[in-house]
C-alpha cells in the first residue's frame, strides 16, 4: 500500500485512465496501486471527512442553547475548527468551506453546519513588537477563505482559564508586565524542551475547548490525520499518559473540566449553554499526511503556498536536516520518525492508530472522577502510584502537603522532570 503520489504514466510511458471514473487521465497513485484523476482524488479525500461529519451530526442532533427548540429540531450544527495552519487543519478548513459552498449551490437555504476556525497564536515566542500582533499568515488564510470566520486567540489567554491548576506549574520569580511575558517565564522554568512543548500542547487544547464552549459549539474538530494520530499515540505513551490514550486518539464525547472560563461549575451549572461534555472529532483520521499534501497541491489555486516551508517538503527527507536531537522534543522526534515510516510502510502507521482505538477508555475528565490538574484526564490511581513507587516518590513528597490538585504521571514528569 502506498500513499498518494503523482504518477502521470506507467513504465511504458503510456497514460493510464483513472481507475474510478474511467474518463480522465490517472495522474495520482492512491492506495493499493490505484491510479486516479485529480477530481476523483479530491472526492476521495473530502468524502472521508464528510462521512465522519455525518456520524458526528447524528450524535449531536439535539439542539443546544436555551433558545433552541425541542430535541430533533433541524438546525445547522456549529463546529469549532482548531486551525494550526498545517496541512491537516488547512485541508479540513477547505473541505468544510467547499461542502458549504456546494450545499448553497444546490439551493439549500440553510447549510447543515456552520463553523468557526480558531488559531492559537503562541505569543510567548520572542518578538520585536512590545504589543502582541496577529501573524501575517492569517491574512493569507482570510483572503483564501473569505467566507470562513477565522479567529486568533493568544496562547497567554490560557492564564485566565480555571480549568488549569496553575499552582502546579513553576511560579515566575518576579512579576511580569504582560500575560505573554508571564506565561513565557513559566514555560522557561520547565525542565526540558519536551516539557515546554507538552505544556504548550495542553494549553492549546484547553483554549480550544473553552472557546468552543463560549461560542456554544456542538463539537470541536481537530485536524489530526492517521500519521499525526500515530505520533500522538507514541509521544503520549513515552511521556507517561498511556492511560488516557483512548480519549486522546478516538472520536467521541469528552467530559469537560470541572470548571470553565468565567468560573462556571459543571455539571451543576445553571447556564444551559455549558454542557457536561463536548464531542471532539478528527474528520481526517483515515487519511495520511502525504495524501493531504497532495490534496492541497491540486486545489485551484493550490493551497500549499499557505503552509510553512517545513510542511511542504517530503516527509521522508526531514531526517536529513537533523544533526542532533538534543534540542528536539519527543513530539518532534516522533513526527520525523513517522514521516519516514509513512513513506515506505503506511500500513504500520495505520495499525498503530487502529490498535490504540481498541483500548479501553481511560477517563477524560469531569467532576465525577479524580482528574489531573493540567491535562484534565482521569487519573490512573493504581498505575500512577505504582510508577511513583518504582521511582521512589510517595504521595506526601509529591505535593508537600500544599493541597494542590493531583497531576497524572505524565504531567508530573513534564512539570518536575
Mean pLDDT to the nearest integer, 18-35: 89
Do residue 14 and residue 86 come from a single domain?
Answer: no
Do residue 20 and residue 54 come from a single domain?
Answer: no
CA 358 to chain centre: 20
Residue 129 has pLDDT above 60, yes or no: no
What was the pLDDT predicted at 106? 86
Residue 286 has pLDDT above 80, yes or no: yes
What was the pLDDT predicted at 225? 97
Give the cell for residue 257. 473540566
CA 412 to chain centre: 22
Mean pLDDT to the nearest integer, 272-295: 89
Do residue 173 and residue 308 come from a single domain?
Answer: yes
Of 296, 301, 297, 259, whose CA–CA distance to 276 is shortest? Answer: 259
Residue 142 forms part of a structural domain: yes
What was the pLDDT predicted at 387? 57
Contact between 41 and 294 under an 8 Å Cβ cutoff? The reply is: yes
Residue 257 forms part of a structural domain: yes
Residue 382 forms part of a structural domain: no
Contact between 147 and 182 under an 8 Å Cβ cutoff? The reply is: no
d(CA 27, CA 36): 6
Contact between 40 and 31 under an 8 Å Cβ cutoff? The reply is: no
Give 332's contacts (C-beta < 8 A, 6+ positions apart). 197
Do residue 11 and residue 102 come from a single domain?
Answer: no
d(CA 55, CA 43): 18
Contact between 270 and 292 under an 8 Å Cβ cutoff? The reply is: no
Residue 105 has pLDDT above 70, yes or no: yes
Residue 393 forms part of a structural domain: no
Please count the other Cβ atoms lying within 10 Å of the Cβ belonging to residue 318.
16
Mean pLDDT to the nearest integer, 325-347: 88
Which whole-number Å values give the CA distances from 107 to 100, 103, 110, in the listed order?
A: 11, 7, 9
d(CA 71, CA 68): 9
Do residue 23 and residue 85 come from a single domain?
Answer: no
Here the CATH number for the domain that contains residue 194 is: 3.40.50.620
What was the pLDDT predicted at 211? 96
What was the pLDDT predicted at 6? 59
Mean pLDDT to the nearest integer, 159-174: 91
Give the cell for residue 345. 510502510
Do residue 54 and residue 28 come from a single domain?
Answer: no
Residue 140 has pLDDT above 90, yes or no: yes
What was the pLDDT predicted at 135? 85
What was the pLDDT predicted at 97? 96
Do residue 183 and residue 59 come from a single domain?
Answer: yes
Mean pLDDT to the nearest integer, 68-97: 84
Tell me the pairing of strands 35-36 and 28-29: antiparallel
What was the pLDDT predicted at 320? 44
- Specify the length of the chain in residues: 417
Give 172's contacts (C-beta < 8 A, 6+ positions apart). 182, 185, 186, 189
Which stretches does DSSP call E strand in 210-328? 219-221, 252-255, 277-281
Do residue 104 and residue 21 come from a single domain?
Answer: no
Give the cell for residue 410. 505524565
What is the percent of the chain where pLDDT is above 90?
55
Residue 403 forms part of a structural domain: no
Residue 192 has pLDDT above 90, yes or no: yes
Looking at per-residue confidence, does 322 or 51 come out higher? 51
d(CA 346, CA 340): 9
Strand (E) or helix (H) holding 294: helix 289-297
Do residue 92 and residue 23 come from a single domain?
Answer: no
What was the pLDDT predicted at 266? 43
Phi, psi (rounded to 5 degrees) for 276: -80, -20
Residue 107 forms part of a structural domain: yes
Query: What's the domain count of the chain?
Result: 2
Q: Output the CA torsion 326→327→333→339 (10° steps).
A: -120
Interval 219-235: pLDDT, tens:
999 999 999 999 999 99
Residue 254 forms part of a structural domain: yes
Do residue 157 and residue 128 come from a single domain?
Answer: yes
Do residue 18 and residue 89 come from a single domain?
Answer: no
Contact between 355 and 331 under an 8 Å Cβ cutoff? The reply is: no
d(CA 412, CA 395): 12
d(CA 138, CA 204): 17
Render 174-222 in DSSP notation, one character per residue. Answer: S--SSHHHHHHHHHHTSSSHHHHHHHHHHHHHHHHHHHHHHTT-SEEE-
Do residue 21 and residue 59 come from a single domain?
Answer: no
Average pLDDT along the chain: 82
Residue tagged 453546519 (cell numbers): 113
d(CA 268, CA 227): 39
pTM: 0.86
Domain that holds residue 30: 1-36
Mean pLDDT to the nearest integer, 134-161: 94
Residue 404 forms part of a structural domain: no
Contact between 264 and 359 under an 8 Å Cβ cutoff? The reply is: no
Amino acid at each position: 500500500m502506498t500513499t498518494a503520489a503523482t504518477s502521470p504514466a506507467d513504465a511504458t510511458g503510456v497514460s493510464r485512465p483513472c481507475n474510478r471514473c474511467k474518463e480522465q487521465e490517472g495522474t495520482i497513485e492512491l492506495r493499493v496501486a490505484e491510479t486516479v484523476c485529480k477530481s476523483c482524488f479530491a472526492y476521495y479525500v473530502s468524502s472521508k471527512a464528510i462521512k465522519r461529519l455525518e456520524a458526528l451530526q447524528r450524535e449531536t442532533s439535539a439542539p443546544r442553547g436555551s433558545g433552541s427548540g425541542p430535541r430533533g429540531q433541524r438546525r445547522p450544527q456549529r463546529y469549532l475548527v482548531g486551525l494550526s495552519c498545517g496541512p491537516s487543519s488547512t485541508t479540513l478548513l477547505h473541505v468544510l468551506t467547499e461542502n458549504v459552498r456546494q450545499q448553497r449551490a444546490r439551493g439549500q437555504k440553510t447549510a447543515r453546519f456552520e463553523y468557526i476556525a480558531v488559531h492559537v497564536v503562541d505569543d510567548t515566542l520572542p518578538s520585536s513588537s512590545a504589543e502582541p500582533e496577529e501573524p501575517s499568515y492569517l491574512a493569507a488564510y482570510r483572503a483564501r477563505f473569505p467566507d470562513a470566520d477565522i479567529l486568533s486567540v493568544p496562547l497567554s489567554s490560557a492564564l485566565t482559564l480555571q480549568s488549569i491548576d496553575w499552582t502546579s506549574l513553576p511560579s515566575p520569580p518576579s512579576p511580569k508586565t504582560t500575560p505573554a511575558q508571564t506565561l513565557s517565564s513559566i514555560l522557561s522554568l520547565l525542565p526540558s524542551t519536551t516539557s515546554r512543548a507538552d505544556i504548550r500542547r495542553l494549553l492549546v487544547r484547553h483554549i480550544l475547548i473553552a472557546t468552543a464552549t463560549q461560542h456554544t459549539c456542538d463539537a470541536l474538530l481537530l485536524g489530526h490525520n492517521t500519521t499525526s494520530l500515530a505520533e500522538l499515540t507514541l509521544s503520549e505513551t513515552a511521556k507517561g499518559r498511556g492511560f488516557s490514550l483512548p480519549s486522546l486518539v478516538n472520536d467521541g464525547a469528552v467530559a469537560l473540566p470541572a470548571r470553565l472560563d468565567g468560573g462556571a461549575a459543571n455539571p451543576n451549572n445553571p447556564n444551559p449553554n455549558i454542557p457536561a461534555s463536548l464531542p471532539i472529532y478528527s474528520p481526517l483520521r483515515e487519511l495520511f499526511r502525504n495524501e493531504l499534501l497532495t490534496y492541497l497541491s491540486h486545489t485551484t489555486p493550490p493551497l500549499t503556498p499557505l503552509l510553512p516551508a517545513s510542511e511542504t517538503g517530503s516527509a521522508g527527507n526531514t531526517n536529513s536536516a537533523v544533526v542532533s536531537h538534543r534540542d528536539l522534543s519527543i513530539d518532534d522526534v516522533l513526527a520525523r520518525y513517522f514521516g519516514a515510516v509513512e513513506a515506505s510502510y503506511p500500513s504500520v502507521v495505520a495499525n498503530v492508530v487502529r490498535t490504540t482505538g481498541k483500548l479501553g477508555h481511560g477517563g477524560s475528565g469531569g467532576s465525577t472522577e479524580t482528574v489531573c490538574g493540567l491535562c484534565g484526564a482521569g487519573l490512573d490511581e493504581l498505575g500512577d502510584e505504582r510508577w511513583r513507587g518504582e521511582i521512589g516518590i510517595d504521595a506526601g513528597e509529591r505535593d508537600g502537603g500544599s493541597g494542590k490538585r493531583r497531576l497524572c504521571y505524565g504531567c508530573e514528569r513534564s512539570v518536575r522532570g
